[in-house]
Amino acid sequence: MPHTEQQLDPNLKPLSEVSNYTVEKGDPDPRGFTVVDADGRQLGTVDDLIIDTAAMKVRYLVVSKSGIEVQRANTDESILLPVQDVEVRSSSGHVVAQRFTGNERSWMRTASGSTAGSTSETDRARLTRSEEELQVGKREVSKGEARVGKHVKTEHVSQPVTRGHEEAFIERRPVEAGARGDASISEDEIRIPLSEEELVVNKRPVVKEELVVGKRIVEERDTVEADLRREEFDIEETGKGTTRERDKRSEH
């Protein structure tokens, strides 16, 4: 006997049927993700989430089956996968059922307020409608590189300086009459050594400036455009047949 919504804990409700609960921002929402087992075999698609309204946590994933292994293990219902037994991979849009055995609990919604008359499940045929959703991911690619170095440049400079040198000078002075001195006539000379300052040029390196190099993240806004396909139901009546349509989505 399948486990219906009424057979679960009363605090467990499908997320699609409670209006005041949403997936917390930043947490992955696996609805629409493809479910595979540990060997990569496709099992189905996540249709809904079963939440614990008391603990404010997701307890199960409702998976519509598509794989052969699930079809053998269950009847025509979806299956419930405990969240602790799955790994959600948001980047690839997959959910890995790491502990899938094929004997998981089945799930079948029961409609409240059905129309008059009795119609068994065997009298009903199902046609699903799918549509594409845009999933945008990011990956890091090489943009090039920024090169920062230094080179030597020679510049010719000139700088005025002052240097000194010695020079001899001569003063002629008259001598008073009767002054003592050597009055002999002879040859004589006086030598005065002269010197001068010589420029000595030296060069030494002096740190004048430093360059700090780093990198930072700059956020830019881009727009992604794509053409998404979706299926639409075509309802056509022939003869005297009458089709009545009821939108159950508004009843939840």
The answer to whether position 19 is within a domain reads: yes
Does 178 reside within a domain? Answer: no
pLDDT of residue 124: 60
pLDDT at 66: 66
Task: Tell me whether residue 43 is in a domain.
Answer: yes
Tokens standing for residue 214:
């780093």
What's the whole-number mean pLDDT along residues 100-125? 54
pLDDT at 239 > cutoff 60? yes
Q: Count of domains in the chain?
A: 1
Domain assignment present for 31: yes
In the block, tokens 């199960």 appear at 60
**What's residue 5's pLDDT?**
42
Report yes or no on 24 lying in a domain.
yes
pLDDT tens digits, 152-183: 999 999 999 999 999 999 999 887 776 666 66
pLDDT digits (tens, 9 = 90+) for 188-215: 888 999 999 999 999 999 999 999 999 9
- 250 band by pLDDT with thresholds 50, 70 and 90: low
This model's pTM is above 0.75: no
CATH of the domain at 58: 3.90.50.10
What is the domain range of residue 91? 1-100
- In a domain, residue 29? The reply is yes
Whether 107 is covered by a domain: the verdict is no
Tell me if 58 sits within 8 A of 84, measured CB to CB. Answer: no
Examine residue 30 and state whether it is found in any structural domain, yes or no.
yes
Query: Stretch 79-83: mean pLDDT, rounded?
Result: 89
Q: Got the DSSP string for 12-51?
A: EEEGGG-TT--PPTTS---TTPEEEETT--EEEEEEEEEE
